[in-house]
Structure formats: structure tokens, C-alpha cells
Structure 1
Amino acid sequence: MGKRLVLWDVDQTLLDIGRLGADIFATSFADCSGLTGHTATRGPGRTDWLAFDETCLANGVDPAEEAFRRFAAAQEAGVEARYAEIARFGRVLPGVPEILRRCAEHPDIVSSLLTGNTRRTAELKLAALGLDGLVDTALGGYGDDRRDRPELVGVARERVQRATGTSFTPDTTVLVGDTLNDVRAAQLGGARIVAVATGTASAADLRAAGAETVLGDLSDTEAVLAELLS
């Protein structure tokens, strides 16, 4: 059995905070753009950077990188300000604490995140719902690292190699996520995908996009662990 790098998506894969995330995004965008009202865009599994750029373009705003950095800081402040609401109204998805613990304890698994959230936002969400400390967030790939999600696979692998001295390949890197963009990130970034039908994409949609392994959720710990290590 070889070592595995397991990279977890956050929203709708590990946890669900309902409309709070969209509300915080909208408020932060309004604050940074100066628009009292704006056209929202949609697309599950986008990075925050891509979502910001697409929302800028939909509203005639210049999507400059410095503008995104201001937005990201505002959004992180918004998540902090609504931390208690996230803790109260958010929920951890079935099986998540146990599989994250098993991966954290497994000698052959390096477990981190690959998410469209910025690192700070991801860490706040995990902490609010009691999942902090179960993944090594310093080793992941985040929505403030790159605009395009597939590039985050390489970002995470480089961080892991620098931190641990272990080089992971497409065969030994596993993404776990719930969206078609997670499947695409694995295909283009170079990783295996374990898809979970816990978001808006159905199991059939995920398979049609190219996911060979699709689970209903993460509640069967032994089955999930077997897929990660296969």
C-alpha cells in the first residue's frame, strides 16, 4: 500500500452552511464594488477568485487582482463576523468527523483541503463546526492561490513536497468533492476523484462528468477509506 495525498473540498462535501456563504459573498462584493445592487452569478465549485471575476464582469466592474484581494479580505472579515451564525445554523455532513479522524491518524495518508474558499475562510468554517485540527490546512490548495480550480492540485502537491519531502503523483493524489468542477479539477489537475452526491450534482451527473467512484455520502467510513487507498 502506497502513500496517499487526500484533498477534501469543503462546502457540501464536509459541511453545509446554507445561504450564509452566498449572503456573505454578496455583502462583501457590494462593499468592495460600491454597487448598491448587483447581478449575482452561479456555479458550484468555483474558486472565490473565479466567482469574484465572473461577478465583476456581469456587473461591468474591472476584475483586477488587487480588487480580488480586497474582496477576499472583506469576505474573510464577514465570515468572522458571522462565525456564531455558522456554528449555530451550519451542519457537518454524515460521516465526516470519523473519516477525517481516520485519515489524520493513518500513517500512509496526508490529509488536507482543495477548496474554492480562501484558506482563512475554510479554516473558520471548519472551526465553527468543530472540524478544526482534523486536516493539515497548511498543505492544501485554496481559492486565493489560483483563479482556476485545476491549478490548485499542483499548488497542494508542491506544498506537501516542500513540507514533507514526499512527492505525490496523479495516481497517489485523491480529490474528494461534490461538484462537476471537482471532477474537472481532478481530470485536468492530475488526480483521482472520489465524488460524493451531497451537493447539487446527482450521482448520475457526477458519473457522466467522468467520476468513476461516486458515493452517496461519507457515512460508511470503511468503504470511503478503502476507496481513498485503492
Structure 2
Amino acid sequence: MLWNIDLTLVDVTIVTRDAYADAFKQVTGRPLVKLAPAMGRPDSEIIFETLAINGIVTGDEHLPRFIDALAHAFAARRRSLVKDGRVMPGAKDALKAVARLGGVVQSVLTGTIKSNAALKLNAFGLDKYVDFEVGGYGEEVYPKASLLQVSQGRVKQMYGFRCDGSNTVLIGDSARDVQTARIAGASMIAVASGRSTPTELHEAGADIVLPDLTNASEVVSAVAKLTTPMDRKAG
């Protein structure tokens, strides 16, 4: 079970923008004028585009330097996460409810770099429901669908699960998340809590579209519908 983070589980947009501005100045020595839109993309893509649209000629050294600066800038703002951010409605109860299903491993498939993903969930007490070691993150320069398959491999290695498209479910809020699941052959539960409308999520090919995560039993039912009891017990 893989969860997208931003606008699915939490909304920390203000803190993220401030951290990007700080990291950009650290790396380039210039103030950030324009931040590339996220649109469900990994931090690695956002960083490259942000540098480009601000007139920075990129080299091989820019990505690791920016990722390191972004991690430090975000960590420096950890106290602002709760003040300026929010947990999405129903997210905690949904995570708890899915965790009660036998044989389920919960992790994240996110565009956020790993250290910042952990900080985002920790700020709202959501980190205890996921195994960060088997997730997929924004510093890994893979297409997101490939990253989903990397995560499946990590689950198999660490848990011995048979982990493939038949027993992998992604929950996210964007049409791009849906496309990721479709390409990787995973099932998709889309929640209309982000910038994609229910119609857009249906048209992108989501198996199930929920308005949000406020009905935990509805989330569990959706997971059960897309997997089988054998999958959940034995992987």
C-alpha cells in the first residue's frame, strides 16, 4: 500500500515554498523569482525546472547540492509544519484503519525527498503507520512509475512479499498519480482532495475515486475491493 503525501495526507505548501526559496539562495546566491509548479512531480524534476526558469545553467553538481540544501532548509522549519500546514481530513484514521488489515505494508510513493517526507508525516503523528525504508522518493531520479516498481522490489526484499501489480495499491490525489499506477500496473484509489477534479481522476483511469479520506471504512473497503484476502495475508 503506497500513499502519496502532499494534498493526500498533508498540506504543507507554505513551508515547502519557503524551504525551496532558502535552498535556491544557498545554492545559487540569488533570490528565487519563480518556483516550478509541483503537479505531482518529484523534487528532482522541480529542482531542474526551477533552476532553468530562473536562468541558472545546470551541471551535474546542482541536483545533489540543491537536495542537501532543501533537506536542511526544511528541517530548519519543522516547527512551522503544524503552524502553517495541516493534516488532510481523515488521513490519520484512514492510515490506522488500513494498518489493521492483515498482511498490509504501508509506505509512501512521493515526489518529496525522503528526509522531508519523514518530517512531513512526523509533524502530524502519521509516521508510525508507514515503513519509510520501502518507499519511493523525489531524490531518486526515476520516472514515478519506475519508482513504484523499485518500491515493490524493496518490499519483496525486506518482507518476502510477492509484490506486483495484483497486490499493490496507490492512493493519491492527482491525475499524474493515476497515470503512475496505470503504467506500473498497480491499482489506484484517487482522492479528490488535491487539484485534480473527480472527473479528471476518473478519466485518467483511477479504479476508485473518493471525495476525501474522511470515511475510513470506505477507504478500507476500496483497498479490499482491489486486492484479495490471500494477497493481504500472504502477499
Query: TM-score of the superposition, structure 2-length normalised?
Result: 0.90
Q: Aligned to 1:222, what secondary structure does the other structure show?
A: helix
1:126 matched residue in structure 2: 121
1:212 matched residue in structure 2: 207
Which structure 2 residues correspond to residues 80-119 of structure 1 after superposition, within 5 A?
Answer: 80-119=75-114
1:139 matched residue in structure 2: 134
More helix per residue: 1 or 2? 2
Q: 1:201 Cα deviation (Å)?
A: 1.0
1:227 aligned onto 2:219 = no
Q: Deviations over 1:65-111 (max 9, x none)?
A: 43211111111111111111102222111111112112223222111
Q: Which runs of 5 or more structure 2 residues have no equivalent in the other structure? A: 226-235
Q: 1:24 Cα deviation (Å)?
A: 1.2
Q: Aligned to 1:109, what secondary structure does the other structure show?
A: coil
- Measure the CA separation in 2 of the matches of 1:75 and 1:65: 17
- Measure the CA separation in 1 of the matches of 2:176 and 2:145: 9
- Measure the CA separation in 1 of the matches of 2:208 and 2:76: 38
**Does the CA-based 8 Å contact 2:21-2:32 persist in structure 1?**
no
In terms of mean alpha carbon deviation, does 167-176 or 65-74 score higher?
65-74
In terms of mean alpha carbon deviation, does 25-34 or 13-22 score higher?
25-34
Instruction: Report how many aligned residue pairs link the two structures.
Output: 225
Specify whether residues 167 and 82 from structure 1 end up closer, same or farther in structure 2 by C-alpha distance, changes over 3 A only: same
1:169 aligned onto 2:161 = no
Specify whether residues 211 and 64 from structure 1 end up closer, same or farther in structure 2 by C-alpha distance, changes over 3 A only: farther
2:30 matched residue in structure 1: 35
Specify whether residues 150 and 63 from structure 1 end up closer, same or farther in structure 2 by C-alpha distance, changes over 3 A only: farther
Q: Aligned to 2:206, what secondary structure does the other structure show?
A: coil
Cα RMSD for the two superposed structures: 1.5
Q: 1:162 Cα deviation (Å)?
A: 0.8
**Does the CA-based 8 Å contact 1:49-1:147 persist in structure 2?**
no
| Aligned partner letter, 2:156 | Q
Q: Deviations over 1:118-161 (max 9, x none)?
A: 11100011111121211111111111122422221011011101
**Does the CA-based 8 Å contact 2:32-2:54 persist in structure 1?**
no
1:191 aligned onto 2:186 = yes
Q: Which runs of 5 or more structure 1 residues have no equivalent in the other structure? A: 1-5
**Does the CA-based 8 Å contact 1:153-1:190 persist in structure 2?**
no
- Measure the CA separation in 2 of the matches of 1:169 and 1:228: 15
Which structure 2 residues correspond to residues 2-81 of structure 1 after superposition, within 5 A?
Answer: 6-81=1-76
Q: Aligned to 2:157, what secondary structure does the other structure show?
A: helix
Q: Aligned to 1:176, what secondary structure does the other structure show?
A: strand
Q: 1:216 Cα deviation (Å)?
A: 0.4
Q: Aligned to 1:19, what secondary structure does the other structure show?
A: helix
Q: Deviations over 1:151-199 (max 9, x none)?
A: 2101101110110111211121111001121111111222111100101
| Aligned partner letter, 2:139 | D
Q: 1:18 Cα deviation (Å)?
A: 3.3
